[in-house]
Every structure is written in structure tokens, then in C-alpha cells.
A and B are shown apart, each in its own frame.
Chain A
Amino acid sequence: MGPVEHLHMSVFSQSFSPCGRFLAAGNNYGEIAIVTPVSLSAPLTPLVFLNFLYFSRSLVYSLSAHEGPVFSLFSTDTHLLSAGNGEISAWSWAELIKRVRPSSLEIPEINAMTVNPTENSLVIGGGDNNIHIMDLESGVFKSVLQGHTDYIHCLSVREREGEILSGGEDGAVRIWDYRTGQSVHCIEVYKYEECARPQYGKWISCLTTESDWMLCGGGPSLSLWHLRSMSPTSIFPLSGCQRQANFYQDMILSVGEGQCVSHCLLGGEVKAQIPCTPHSLNTLALNLNSTDNRVLTVGGSSHQIDVFTNLSYRTFSLSF
């Protein structure tokens, strides 16, 4: 991988393993890199400290997964699912090299994947404006949810209410009932004056839910919505379009266009903005599966992935 390719590399997706010891990251060249625990844990040993000084270390294993970029990665209990331009591969976590089931679909560009654990099905949102639901056991497509008028950027599942939320380029957040396959609600975020930012457009690129609350952002500002009343409760004054946001304890972590990870409070104020190496961030992953490797990793338009062992500062960077 030459220096020119390194310069043009972007990390699009990340996922932690269910045991919490490995990180998988996908880039725009179709490679998935697997990082082991030694590189990730807190740098307290002298050997690791030396590496720490150079702020960059090589990854252990990098496998070439797809021909096109790897837009989305998702971990189930036993497998890592990766999706790119029209194909989904499942990799077993136990034997990281073994590709279990590649399948080619006609879906042009799979931007988001998530798993619905109650039905053990994979929900895929893609470039053909539809949401496809596939059964994980058999690999058979169960249903298609149609309604978006432009491609889908992000998905989220609310298990308790049995709903799937999807946000797309057409600026609408649609709430679907996965049993009936009908769109229950449609929120057009850009129509709300307080959220809309017409200079950026109306597309929704990040969506995440937690019980009754939903965060969505993209073209319009990042906003916190109360789903029962379908009303926006707080608007976050972040410049730039946010690409991914997560709820964490009592805060909201969000990354996007801007060389920083933003920490915000639910009330609408931005508590902190932590700088990091990539100029524009695409993905944020929190390792909550293991207790001693609790890290936050972010990746974006750079070949480096920043690791935060303490949320307040960047500890070190990994590089492809």
C-alpha cells in the first residue's frame, strides 16, 4: 500500500467484537483491518509506552474483503458482517480469516446494516431507496420496506416497540413497524425551522435511538427528538454535518465534519470538543463489551484511527 493510497484512505466503518477484544475497521479500498487487544489497552507497560511515543502503530491483520469500499460493518454474537457495493460477507470471529457466506445482491450501495435481535434478522438500507430485511439463519430475504424517495444513510432498531427507523438523503426519518412492513411515521426534519440548515441540505446521515429519544442529524443540525410526542427537544449548535452520534451514559458523543469529537449534554449545550487526527470523521465506535478495554475509537478521512482510553483526550492512533 503506497503512500498515495495512504493519503487517500478513508475509514468508513468500525465494529468491536462481541468479546470486546478486537476492533474491525473498514476503509474505502475494501479492506478490513482487525486490531488485537495489545494495541488497544491502556498504555501502562514500558514496552507499550515506547510505541505510545510515536503515536502510530501497525495493525496486526488486514484482509481484503471487497472490491469496493466497505461502507458498513456490524457484529453479531458470532460473526462480523461487512457490506460494500452490493455484496454482504459474513466473517466468523472465531476464525477471523474464514469467510462464511458471501452473497451478492442487487442493492447498489449498502450504507447501513443493523440486526433486529428479536427476530434474528438483518436490516439493510441501501442505495436503491429501500430497506431489505434478511433472515440471518437462512439468508433469505423476508421483506422490503419501501417509502423513501432517495437513498438511505442510516438505520436504527427499537426492539421494545418493534420499530425500525431509517434516515435518508430525502431528509425524512421514517419509522416502520417491522411486522406489518408499513411506515408508521414520517418526520421531515428539514421542515422544522429550528433544526433546518438549508445551506447544508436536507439529508439525514446519522440516526440513533435510546428508549424514547432519538438523535438525528446531517444537513439539518443534530437534534434530540422525543419520539412519543414527535417533537424536537434540543438542538445542538455544532457546525458541520454530523455523521455519527451515540448516547453514552449521560452524554452524547458525535463526530462529523470537523476535526473533533463533540461531547454534548442532553440539554443542548456542547460540553467539550476533543481534537483528533483525521480532518473529517466518519465513524465512532465504543467498546462496551469488555470491562478492561473500554475505549472509544474514531475514524475518518485519514489512514489513522484514533483511540481514546479516557474520553477526554486522544491516547494514540492506529494506522492501516
Chain B
Amino acid sequence: MGAVTDDEVIRKRLLIDGDGAGDDRRINVLLKSFTKWCNATGSPEEGFTQYQRMLGTLAQCEFSMGKTLLVYDMNLREMENYEKIYTDIEQNITSAHDKISECKKEIQRAKRIRKNRQEYDALAKVIQQHPDRHETLKQLEALDKELQQLSHIKENVEDKLELRKKQFHVLLSTIQELQQTLESKYDCSLCALLWQDGL
């Protein structure tokens, strides 16, 4: 059990600062100088300088620890920031997908509308070739009137023709009757006249 944890400790230490330079070495140096200072046999000034040096190293260690803590904080916040950006981008992607499908539907609708418009235009072209309805109606009305007038005239002419026919018929029949009466009376009266003249 102790060996395992030792391994873990060793591995962690190697991971953190395996090269022997930097903070780990500084802490070791501090410990060594501390033990040396505690067992110091030299003069008080030397001891004081040693003490000052140790305080300096301690301060350095604290400084570097503070720096690492700040870096750690910064990393955490960067992670959060990235997470946020990630979720934002995902949302944008889904909304873009939705917009794309919306736009596709729009395109279909627009295509249908364009098709209808073109059909309409094509028919309109054909219709334009034919003359205007009002004009044709007016022409029709004028023709109607002319037709009516002409039929009136025709009726009048026909009536006159009938009348003349009848008059002529009367005239001819009277002439014929007269002729007949003259022919029948002709012999008797002429003979009577001649007899009278002859006497």
C-alpha cells in the first residue's frame, strides 16, 4: 500500500516537475537551508542573512504558487468560455439548418409563383393578339343597326311591290272585262248601226 502511494506520488511529482529545475528544487533547497539554519553554529549575522535568504526563497515560492493559482483560474474560465462558445455555435448551426429548410420551402413557393406568372403571361400574349372586346361589341352593334335598317327597307320595298302588283292586277282584270263586254256587244250594236246607215 505504501509502495503504491509512493509510486503515485513519484509519478505526480515527475509529471509536475520532472526535470529538477524550478519550484520543486526551490522547495528542496529551502528545506535544506532551513535544516542547515536550525543547526547553524556560525555567527548571528550569518544566521540572520541565512534567515533573510530563506524568507526570500519562501517569498519566491509563494509568488510562483500564486501565479500557478491564477493560471489555473484563468484556465477554468477559458474552459467555461469555450463551452459557452461551443453551445452558441451549436445553436447557430441548428438555426441555420432551420433557416435553410425554410428557404428551401420559400424557393419552392417562389418557383410555383413564377410558374403561375409565366403561364399567365403566356396566355396574356395570346389574348393580346385578339382584338379588344369593346371594339368588337361596338362593331357588332353597328352591324346590328345596319341589319335592322336594311330589313326595314326590304319590308317597305316588298310592301310597295305587293301594292303595285295588286293595282296592276286590278287594272288588267278591268281591261279584260271591258274587252269581253266590247267583244260581246260588238256584233249586235255594229249590225244595228250599219242597218241604220244603210237605210
Which chain A residues have a beta carbon within 8 Å of chain B's beta carbons?
213, 224, 226, 229, 231-234, 249-250, 265-268
Contacts and interface: CB of A to CB of B under 8 A. Distances in A.
A249 B110 CA distance: 10
The 7 A-B residue pairs with the shortest CB-CB distance, nearest first, are A233-B122, A266-B118, A250-B115, A250-B111, A249-B111, A250-B114, A267-B118
B104 to A, nearest CB: 12
A250 B121 CA distance: 14
B8 interface: no
Contacts of B108: 249
B112 interface: yes
Contact of A234 (B111, B112, B115, B122): B122
Contacts of B133: none
A247 B160 CA distance: 70
A286 to B, nearest CB: 15
B114 to A, nearest CB: 5
Contacts of B115: 249-250, 266
A125 B122 CA distance: 31
A226 B112 contact: no
B112 A233 contact: no
Contact of A213 (B111, B119, B126): B119
Nearest to A232: B126
A226 B114 contact: no
B111 A268 contact: no
Interface of B: 108, 111-112, 114-115, 118-119, 121-123, 125-126
The SS class assigned to the B binding surface is helix
A294 to B, nearest CB: 12
A226 B118 contact: no
Contacts of B118: 250, 265-267
24 contacts: A213-B119, A224-B122, A226-B122, A226-B123, A226-B126, A229-B123, A229-B126, A233-B122, A233-B123, A233-B126, A234-B122, A249-B112, A249-B115, A250-B111, A250-B112, A250-B114, A265-B118, A266-B115, A266-B118, A266-B119, A266-B121, A266-B122, A267-B118, A267-B122
A250 B71 CA distance: 62
A151 B33 CA distance: 114
A250 B119 CA distance: 10
A267 B115 CA distance: 9
The SS class assigned to the A binding surface is strand
Contacts of B123: 226, 229, 233
B125 A233 contact: yes
A251 B166 CA distance: 78
A69 B126 CA distance: 42
Contacts of B121: 266-267
A224 B119 CA distance: 10
Most chain A beta-carbon contacts within 10 A, residue among B108, B114, B122 = B122
Nearest to A229: B126
Nearest to B107: A249
A129 B191 CA distance: 99
A234 B124 CA distance: 11
A268 B121 CA distance: 10
A268 B126 contact: no
Given A213-B119, A266-B118, 17 more contacts: A224-B122, A226-B123, A226-B126, A229-B123, A231-B126, A232-B126, A233-B122, A233-B125, A233-B126, A234-B125, A249-B111, A249-B115, A250-B112, A250-B115, A250-B118, A267-B121, A267-B122
Nearest to B110: A250
Contacts of A268: 122
A191 B29 CA distance: 111
Contacts of A224: 122
A234 B112 CA distance: 18
Nearest to A269: B118
A224 B108 CA distance: 22
Contacts of A226: 122-123, 126
B58 to A, nearest CB: 61
Contacts of B119: 213, 266
A265 B108 CA distance: 15
Contacts of A234: 122, 125
